[in-house]
Amino acid sequence: MGKQRLALWLGQLLLCGTPEAPCGECSNCRHAMDLTHPDLVWVFPRPRKDDQADAAPDEVAANLAEAVSERREALGLYAAPPGTDGIFVSGVRSLVREAIKPPSVARRRVVVVGDAEQMARTEDAAEAANAFLKLLEEPPAHLTIILTSSEPGALLPTIRSRVVSIRAGRLSDAEVRALLSRPEVSAFLDRVDKDSLDLRVGRAGGAPGSLLSATSLAAARENAQRILAAASGSRGAQLRVSLAQGASGARGSYSDTLDELTRLLRDRVATSLDAGDGAAARRMARGIPAVERAKVRAAGNTHPGLLTAQLVRELAGMS
């Protein structure tokens, strides 16, 4: 529905110093729209490897700045982060640290927290969670905090009780159509499917962001198919598919790729069984634990390229 877009717009409204806020022309507005305003802080879930508990605050802030600039370069079009991403201990600490700073150029400071239900839970981050709750309870006078969530029920009750909730409803089909007709949006969606505008409006069901996630799932599925095909290919093919995993922008979706790989192997087991080929089904089934092991390593700090190189070797052994 564009909840984070709305939150950022509210941020712009609060930072704009003119009577016609948001005027869209003053320097506060321009920097807010460009996501470069020092008093508009946008925090959202990141892969765990970019958010180690012992990471230096500057390192966490630099990682987040890079993620924000990726979203800016993609014109604000991004898929929902996978469920394995989160705002972990160092992310929450950095958020609190940024929030309490006095405004640097505007009169206020605004912190937008996207997918807030993926924020560290008290059990793994008591200290950070308490600092955040204290911030929500007694925010400095200059500060506005906006949380967005697709699952407000999953927020800690201690957070829910400290905020005013506003429901962002689904968009009308006419609004979705207007958004999807924009050249940059249709170009983004054209990269994956060739669906007509009518079909996309129908698939969006009032929540156009879901089309972006479908896009990333389709990309993950294609990537999983390439990995599986490379496993039965030459050494060169295996190396190429492994090297391709390190590309920027593919990082967040690697866990989606592994999920799709599991699904693909299960499908092939079922197809082989239906065809009465028990031997082929057993071979495919042997690949599933290898993918599960890769998922465990992917949650750590291992580079997707290295993981894929090991995984294709193990998958190659099954045929």
Q: How far is the CB of 36 from Zn ion (least distance, A)?
A: 14
Block residue for tokens 């007509």: 196
Beta 143-147 vs 109-113: how paired, if at all?
A: parallel
For Zn ion, which is the closer residue by CB, 26 or 113?
26
DSSP states of 53-88: TT--HHHHHHHHHHHHHHHHHTTT--PPPPTT-BB-
Contact letters for Zn ion, residues 239-268 (x by CB under 5 A)? ------------------------------
Q: How far is the CB of 31 from Zn ion (least distance, A)?
A: 10
Strand arrangement of the beta sheet that strand 143-147 belongs to: 40-43, 109-113, 143-147
Considering only residues 3 to 62 of the shown chain, the ones binding Zn ion according to CB under 5 A are: 16, 18, 23, 26, 29
For Zn ion, which is the closer residue by CB, 22 or 86?
22
Long-range contacts of 282-289, Cβ-Cβ distance < 8 Å, separation of 24 or more: 283/318, 283/319, 284/318, 286/318, 287/231, 287/314, 287/315, 287/318, 288/262
For Zn ion, which is the closer residue by CB, 19 or 276?
19
Count of residues that interact with Zn ion, criterion CB under 5 A: 5
For Zn ion, which is the closer residue by CB, 28 or 94?
28
Q: How far is the CB of 9 from Zn ion (least distance, A)?
A: 12
- For 125-150, letters b (16+ CB in 10 Å) and e give beebbebbbebeeebeebbebbbbbb
Q: How far is the CB of 24 from Zn ion (least distance, A)?
A: 6
For Zn ion, which is the closer residue by CB, 29 or 189?
29
Q: How far is the CB of 19 from Zn ion (least distance, A)?
A: 10
Site residues for Zn ion per CB under 5 A: 16, 18, 23, 26, 29
